[in-house]
C-alpha cells in the first residue's frame, strides 16, 4: 500500500502571518483547514520595521513591537512603538484608536500590532509618524516594569538595573551599548578571517588551572574535580601547530573574589594567536589591524547605537606608537617626577600619564608598552634575546588604560623545561600541553582582548557590569 | 625638562622578517641597533603560502611550515612542506640541499624555512614544485610524533588520536574536518545577521539547572554551588524581549554519564531565537535559510577541505518537506509495518525510515517532523492550539538522523504558571526568568544546532569525538 502524506500544506501568504491550506488528506490537514476557516480571508500587510518607516510615507503599514511610551498632549495622544531595531511615533486623535489598549489594560511594554498611514512630519522623530492607527494588543503586561524604560536616561540604581536586567536591558541606551558588543565580535572575526586566521572553539572544562594561581572555579566532573578555563591560552598555542593562525571568541572564568567596577568573574575573551612571527612586533601589527577593523565595523554598521550613546570612536594611527617599559618609567620620572623606575609593572596612574603623553606627543589614543619584566609575565612568555630580564611582551593602552595584553611565547620544548625549572613549577599537570612543543612549533605569539573592558572604555560606562548582558560577580549569579 | 623617547624605531622591512633601526637615544635603541648589526643586510623575500605557489612559477620564493613528509626516489628526495593552509612539494637533487635537516636531526614535523625556485611540473601535486632548495631549520622536533601524519589515512586507534590530539590534529584530514567547523559557524552567523539577528553572549555559570534534570555539572562558586549552563535557552528567550532576533555560538555542558559515539559532555551550540512569529513554521523557515546559508558558505569557502574529505554537500530544498509526528508514525506503520503509533518520540530506526521516505518521495536529504507530544517536550514549549496534547515543535532530520530541535515557546506569564503547575515544577529557581514574561513578550521560537553533530553527519565521521578539537567525555578531561 502506498501512503501519501500531506505536503506543502501551507502556501501563499507565508511570512505575512496568514497561510492557506491547499491539499492534504489526514488529521493534520483537517486541523489546518479549520484554522484557515477561522481566519478572515483578508490581505495581511507585510510587517514594516520602525527603521524602515521613512521609506513608506503615504502608505498603509503594519508594525509590531512594544508600547514604549504614551503621552497625552491636548487632544492628541502620542505613542512610541519600539521594535527590535528602533522606535516610531504614532499619533492618535481619538479615544477610539486607543480603546484596544484600554480594554486590555495594556500599559507600556505591552506587545502590540499597529496598522496606520505613514505621514511625513517635521516634528516627529525621524521625520515620519503613523496616523489613523488600528491597534491590536498581542501580549498585555502583567505589571508595570520595575525600571522606567521610556526616559532618555536610565533612572535606577546599579543594583536595580542588574537585578532586573531581564527587562532593564530593553532600555534604548542599555540595548545600544550591549549591541555594540555584537559589532566588536563581528569586526574582530572579519579582520582576522581576512588575514587567514581560522576560528576555533576550545574546551572550557579543563583538568588543571591554565595560568596557575588560585583564581579558578572547581567543577564537579563526574567523580573528579575539574576547573573552568581561565583562558584558551594553551589550546590556542597548540592550534598554531595546526592552522598557524587561530582566533576564538568565548567565555573565560576567573574566580577573583572582587566586587569592583573593573572585574567580572565570567567574561568574553577575544583571543588570537599566530605562528611564524619574528617577534612581538608582528603580533602588535596584527592587533593594530584588528583594533582598526573593530572600530571600522562599529563606524559602518552601528551608527545609531554610537549616536544614541554619544560615543566618539577613536582613530587608530597607521602605526601605534610604542615604548619599552623601562623607557616609559624613565619618561614618567623625567616628565612627571615620580620615580617608578625598575618597578615590575605600571600603576593605573602610570598608565594615565603615558596615555596623556601619547596623545600630546603622538596624537594617539593608543600606546603600546613593551618589554614587561620576565618575573612579572607568565612562564610561557618569550624573553628579550638581548636583555632576558625583560620579555617580548606588550600591553596596549587605550586612553591611558590597559586594554589588551599579548606577546611572543616560547616555542622550543627545552625552553619550557628551563622556564618551569626556573620557577619551580611542575611539568605534570600540563604534560599534554608541553608535549606539543616536542613536535615542532614555530615562533608564535598572540593577544587577548576583553570584550566587556573594550566596551566599557569605548562607551565610558561607569562599571564593566553594564557592559555585559547578565554579569557574574562574587555576589551575583542571577539573572 | 623635555624628554623625547624613541619612536618609529623600526622602519622599512616590517613584515619581511627584518627591521632597521633608524633613530632613538636610549637603552632600548641601543639594543635594537645591536640586533640590527647582527642581522645581515640582505633583502628578505616575503613569505609565500603553499596555496599561493602556483602563482609564482619561475620566481624565487620563500616558504615556511612543517616538514610534512620526506621520501627518496633514486637520486631525488621529495620533501613535502605543510603550512597552515596546504602543502607544497620540494625536490632536492643533492645531499647538500638536505644537509641542514641532517645536521639539525630535523625529522618530519620539524619547522623549516625553504627558499627555492617555483617550477611548473605535471607530476607535482598542484602542478608546481620547488627546486634549488635552501633549507633552514627553525625548530627541530624533539622526538618523532606518536601518530603518522604523512599518510593519506590516519592509521591510529581512536584513543591514540584523542590522547595525542595536540599533534594528531595536524593530520590533513583531521584539520580539514575541524576547519569545516569554522565554516559552519561563519555561515550560521552570516545568514542570521543578514536577517536582522543580533549576536549575544550569555552566562555559562548559572544559579540553577536550566532545563531541569540531573545532567548538570556543579561549580564551586565562592561559597555557593552554581551550575554550568545546559543551554542558553532562558537567556536567549529573554533577549527576544530586547532585540526580537538573537543568536549565540557558545559552549554548553551536559553531565550525561555516557561514553558513546554520539555524546559529548561539552559541545558548541548554535542557538537562534526570534520574536513575532505566527507559529513554529516561521522558525522552520528561518532554520531552512540558516542550513542553506551554512551549506553555501562551505561550498564557497571550504572546497579544498570538502574535496580532501570527499564530502558531498546536500542541497537544501526551497521548502523542506514536513510531516506531523502522528502522521509520520501512521506512515511508518503503513509503509514499514512497525506499529509505533502513539509513542512519545521517534526511535533512531523510525528516523532512518523517515529519512529514506523523504529522499524517495521528496528527493530531500532533509525532513521536518512536527508536533511532538506535549509531555515529551520541555515545559516552555507552546502547545498546538487545536490539539493541545501535541506541541508547536519540530525536529529537523538530516539523512535520517535528528540534527536540530526547535519550536515555538510560551510567551504569556500565565501560561508559564499553568505549565509549571501541571508539571509540579517550582517557580522559585527561575523566578527571574518567568519575571521577564510579566512585562510583555511576543510570540517567539527558536532552535539549537549542535555544531559537532552537524559536522559528524556532514562528513560521516565515525564518532562525534572526532568532530571537536579536544573532546570531553566521562573518561576524558585532557588534552
**Digit-coded pLDDT (tens) for B368-385:** 999 999 999 999 999 999
Identify which of B31, B241, B276 has the shortest CB distance to residue A387. Answer: B31
Distance in Å, alpha carbon of A72 to nearest chain B alpha carbon: 22
Give the nearest chain B residue to A145 (CA atoms): B439
Distance in Å, alpha carbon of B325 to nearest chain A alpha carbon: 10
Give the count of Cβ contacts less than 8 A between chain A and B: 350
Inter-chain CB proximity A226 and B477 less than 8 Å: yes
- A190-205 average pLDDT score: 98
Please count the helices (runs of H) and the strands (runs of E) in chain A.
13, 18
Chain A neighbors of B412, CB-CB under 8 A? 139
Distance in Å, alpha carbon of B423 to nearest chain A alpha carbon: 22
Give the nearest chain A residue to B31 (CA atoms): A386
Distance in Å, alpha carbon of A171 to nearest chain B alpha carbon: 8
d(CA B51, CA A386): 36
- Could you give the ipTM of this predicted complex? 0.92
Inter-chain CB proximity B35 and A85 less than 8 Å: no
Inter-chain CB proximity A179 and B198 less than 8 Å: yes
Determine which of B84, B105, B215, B433 to mutate to test the interface with A (most A C-beta atoms within 10 Å).
Answer: B84
Task: Examine the pLDDT at B81 and tell me if it is beyond 80.
Answer: yes
Give me the pLDDT at residue B33, please.
36
Distance in Å, alpha carbon of A478 to nearest chain B alpha carbon: 6
Task: Examine the pLDDT at A40 and tell me if it is beyond 90.
Answer: no
Inter-chain CB proximity A479 and B323 less than 8 Å: no
- Bridge partners (DSSP) of residue B395 are B369, B405
Distance in Å, alpha carbon of B119 to nearest chain A alpha carbon: 25
Q: Mark whether B409 is an active-site residue.
A: no
Of the residues B164, B263, B472, B476, only one is catalytic, namely B263
CB B302 within 8 A of CB B180: yes
Chain B neighbors of A386, CB-CB under 8 A? 31, 34-35
d(CA B231, CA B393): 17
Q: How far is CA A241 from CA A175, A210, B175, in A?
A: 40, 19, 11
Identify which of B8, B85, B324 has the shortest CB distance to residue A196. Answer: B85
Task: Examine the pLDDT at A16 and tell me if it is beyond 60.
Answer: no
Which of A191, A194, A234 minimizes the C-alpha distance to A212? Answer: A234
**Helices marked H in B253-390:** 280-301, 303-309, 325-336, 348-362
Chain A neighbors of B241, CB-CB under 8 A? 166-167, 169-170
CB A283 within 8 A of CB A274: yes
CB A406 within 8 A of CB A394: yes
Give the nearest chain A residue to B207 (CA atoms): A477
Distance in Å, alpha carbon of A312 to nearest chain B alpha carbon: 22
Task: Examine the pLDDT at A468 and tell me if it is beyond 60.
Answer: yes
Backbone angles phi, psi at A46, to 5 degrees: -65, 150
Inter-chain CB proximity A201 and B324 less than 8 Å: no
Inter-chain CB proximity A474 and B222 less than 8 Å: yes
Task: Examine the pLDDT at B15 and tell me if it is beyond 80.
Answer: no
Q: Mark whether B72 is an active-site residue.
A: no
| Omega prior to A479 cis, within 30 of 0 | yes
Task: Examine the pLDDT at A202 and tell me if it is beyond 90.
Answer: yes
Give me the pLDDT at residue B209, please.
79
Give me the pLDDT at residue A444, please.
98
- Identify the helix (H) or strand (E) that includes residue B433: helix B431-436
Give me the pLDDT at residue A43, please.
65
| Omega prior to B197 cis, within 30 of 0 | no
| Residue in this structure with the C-alpha cell 565595523, named with its chain if needed | A297
pLDDT in tens, B242-275: 999 999 999 999 999 988 999 999 999 999 999 9
Give the nearest chain B residue to A257 (CA atoms): B222
Identify which of A34, A435, A442 has the shortest CB distance to residue B139. Answer: A442
Kindly state the cell numbers that stand for A157: 540604581
- A202-224 average pLDDT score: 89
Identify which of A31, A166, A222 has the shortest CB distance to residue B238. Answer: A166
Give me the pLDDT at residue B208, please.
86
Give me the pLDDT at residue A30, please.
35
pLDDT in tens, B315-363: 999 999 999 999 999 999 999 999 999 999 999 999 999 999 999 999 9
Chain A neighbors of B437, CB-CB under 8 A? 142
- A152-167 average pLDDT score: 95
Which residues, 6 or more positions from B293, have their beta carbon under 8 angstroms from its beta carbon?
B187, B188, B190, B191, B194
Chain B neighbors of A149, CB-CB under 8 A? none
Known catalytic residues of A are 254, 256, 262-263, 402, 405, 453
pLDDT in tens, A351-379: 999 999 999 999 999 999 999 999 999 99
Give me the pLDDT at residue B58, please.
97
Kindly state the cell numbers that stand for B311: 564530502
CB A126 within 8 A of CB A88: yes
Task: Examine the pLDDT at B32 and tell me if it is beyond 90.
Answer: no
Q: Mark whether B362 is an active-site residue.
A: no
Which of B465, B407, B399 minimizes the C-alpha distance to B267? Answer: B465
Chain B neighbors of A322, CB-CB under 8 A? 7, 9
d(CA A174, CA A165): 10
Give me the pLDDT at residue A211, please.
67
**Helices marked H in B74-136:** 95-103
CB B143 within 8 A of CB B261: no
Inter-chain CB proximity B200 and A182 less than 8 Å: yes
Kindly state the cell numbers that stand for A336: 612627571
**Helices marked H in A244-396:** 280-301, 303-309, 325-336, 348-362
Chain B neighbors of A111, CB-CB under 8 A? 440-442
Identify which of B5, B440, B474 has the shortest CB distance to residue A111. Answer: B440
Inter-chain CB proximity B386 and A31 less than 8 Å: yes
Task: Examine the pLDDT at A27 and tell me if it is beyond 50.
Answer: no
For A124, the 3-state DSSP assignment is: coil
Chain A neighbors of B7, CB-CB under 8 A? 321-323, 361-362
Asked which of A127-141, A421-435, B450-464 is least confident by mean pLDDT, the reply is A421-435
pLDDT in tens, B162-211: 999 999 999 999 999 999 999 999 999 999 999 999 999 999 999 987 66
d(CA B180, CA B467): 9
Backbone angles phi, psi at B92, to 5 degrees: -100, 130
Q: Mark whether B452 is an active-site residue.
A: no
pLDDT band, residue A209 (cuts 50/70/90): confident
Of the residues B82, B254, B377, B444, only one is catalytic, namely B254
Chain B neighbors of A222, CB-CB under 8 A? 255, 257, 474
Identify which of B18, B219, B285 has the shortest CB distance to residue A228. Answer: B219
Backbone angles phi, psi at A194, to 5 degrees: -65, -15
Percent of chain B predicted with pLDDT > 90: 87
| Angle made by CA atoms B280, B243, A10, in degrees to the nearest 5 | 20
Inter-chain CB proximity B327 and A244 less than 8 Å: no
Which of A203, A290, A202, A288 minimizes the C-alpha distance to A248? Answer: A202
Identify which of A142, A205, A243 has the shortest CB distance to residue B175. Answer: A243
Task: Examine the pLDDT at A270 and tell me if it is beyond 80.
Answer: yes
Q: Mark whether B453 is an active-site residue.
A: yes
| Residue in this structure with the C-alpha cell 510583555, named with its chain if needed | B440
Chain A neighbors of B207, CB-CB under 8 A? 477-478
Give me the pLDDT at residue A5, please.
36
Chain A neighbors of B479, CB-CB under 8 A? 238, 432-433, 435
Identify which of B9, B84, B282 has the shortest CB distance to residue A243. Answer: B84
Q: Rounded mean pLDDT of chain B? A: 91
- A465-478 average pLDDT score: 96
d(CA B175, CA A448): 24
Percent of chain B predicted with pLDDT > 70: 90
Inter-chain CB proximity B281 and A14 less than 8 Å: yes
Identify which of A26, A205, A386 has the shortest CB distance to residue B477. Answer: A205
Inter-chain CB proximity A84 and B196 less than 8 Å: yes
Distance in Å, alpha carbon of B362 to nearest chain A alpha carbon: 9
Distance in Å, alpha carbon of A423 to nearest chain B alpha carbon: 22
pLDDT in tens, A234-253: 999 999 999 999 999 999 99
pLDDT in tens, A411-440: 999 999 999 999 998 988 889 999 999 999
Give me the pLDDT at residue B12, please.
30
Give the nearest chain A residue to B189 (CA atoms): A186
What is the pTM for the complete model shown? 0.92
pLDDT in tens, B110-153: 999 999 999 999 999 999 999 999 999 999 999 999 999 999 99
Amino acid at each position: 500500500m502506498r501512503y501519501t502524506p500531506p505536503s506543502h500544506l501551507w502556501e501563499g501568504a507565508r511570512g505575512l502571518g496568514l497561510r492557506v491550506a491547499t491539499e492534504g488528506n489526514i488529521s493534520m490537514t483537517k486541523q489546518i483547514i479549520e484554522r484557515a476557516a477561522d481566519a478572515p480571508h483578508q490581505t495581511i500587510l507585510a510587517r514594516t520595521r520602525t527603521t524602515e518607516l521613512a521609506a513608506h510615507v503615504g502608505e498603509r503599514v503594519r508594525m509590531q513591537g512594544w508600547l514604549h511610551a504614551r503621552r497625552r498632549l491636548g487632544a492628541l495622544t502620542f505613542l512610541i512603538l519600539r521594535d527590535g531595531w528602533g522606535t516610531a511615533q504614532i499619533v492618535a486623535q481619538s479615544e477610539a484608536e486607543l480603546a484596544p489598549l484600554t480594554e486590555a489594560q495594556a500599559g507600556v511594554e505591552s506587545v502590540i500590532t499597529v496598522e496606520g498611514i505613514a505621514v511625513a512630519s517635521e516634528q516627529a522623530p525621524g521625520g515620519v509618524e503613523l496616523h489613523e492607527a488600528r491597534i491590536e494588543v498581542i501580549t498585555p503586561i502583567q505589571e508595570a516594569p520595575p525600571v522606567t524604560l521610556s526616559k532618555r536616561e536610565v533612572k535606577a540604581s546599579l543594583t536595580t538595573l542588574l537585578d532586573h536586567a531581564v527587562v532593564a536591558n530593553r532600555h534604548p541606551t542599555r540595548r545600544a551599548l550591549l549591541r555594540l558588543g555584537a559589532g566588536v565580535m563581528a569586526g574582530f572575526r572579519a579582520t582576522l578571517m581576512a588575514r587567514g586566521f581560522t576560528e576555533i572553539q576550545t574546551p572550557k572544562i579543563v583538568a588543571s588551572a591554565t595560568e596557575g594561581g588560585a583564581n579558578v572555579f572547581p567543577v564537579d566532573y563526574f567523580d573528579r574535580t575539574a576547573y573552568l578555563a581561565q583562558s584558551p591560552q594553551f589550546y590556542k598555542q597548540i592550534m598554531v601547530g595546526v592552522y598557524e593562525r587561530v582566533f576564538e571568541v568565548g567565555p573565560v572564568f576567573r574566580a577573583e573574589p572582587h566586587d569592583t567596577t573593573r572585574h567580572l568573574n565570567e567574561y568574553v575573551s577575544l583571543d588570537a594567536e599566530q605562528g611564524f612571527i619574528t617577534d612581538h612586533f608582528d603580533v602588535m601589527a596584527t592587533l593594530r589591524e584588528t583594533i582598526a577593523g573593530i572600530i571600522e565595523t562599529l563606524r559602518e554598521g552601528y551608527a545609531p547605537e554610537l549616536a544614541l550613546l554619544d560615543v566618539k570612536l577613536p582613530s587608530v594611527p597607521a602605526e601605534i606608537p610604542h615604548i619599552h617599559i623601562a623607557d616609559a618609567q624613565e619618561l614618567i620620572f623625567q616628565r612627571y617626577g615620580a620615580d617608578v623606575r625598575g618597578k615590575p609593572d605600571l600603576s593605573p596612574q602610570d598608565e594615565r600619564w603615558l596615555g596623556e603623553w601619547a596623545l600630546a606627543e603622538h596624537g594617539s589614543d593608543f600606546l603600546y608598552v613593551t618589554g614587561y619584566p620576565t618575573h612579572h609575565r607568565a612562564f610561557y612568555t618569550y624573553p628579550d634575546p638581548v636583555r632576558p630580564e625583560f620579555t617580548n611582551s606588550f600591553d596596549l593602552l587605550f586612553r591611558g588604560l590597559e586594554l589588551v595584553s599579548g606577546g611572543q611565547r616560547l616555542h622550543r620544548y627545552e625552553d619550557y623545561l628551563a622556564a618551569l625549572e626556573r620557577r619551580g613549577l611542575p611539568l605534570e599537570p600540563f604534560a599534554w600541553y608541553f608535549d606539543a612543543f616536542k613536535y615542532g612549533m614555530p615562533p608564535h605569539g598572540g593577544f587577548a582582548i576583553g570584550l566587556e573592558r573594550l566596551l566599557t572604555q569605548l562607551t565610558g560606562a561607569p562599571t564593566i557590569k553594564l557592559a555585559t548582558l547578565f554579569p557574574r560577580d562574587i555576589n551575583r549569579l542571577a539573572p
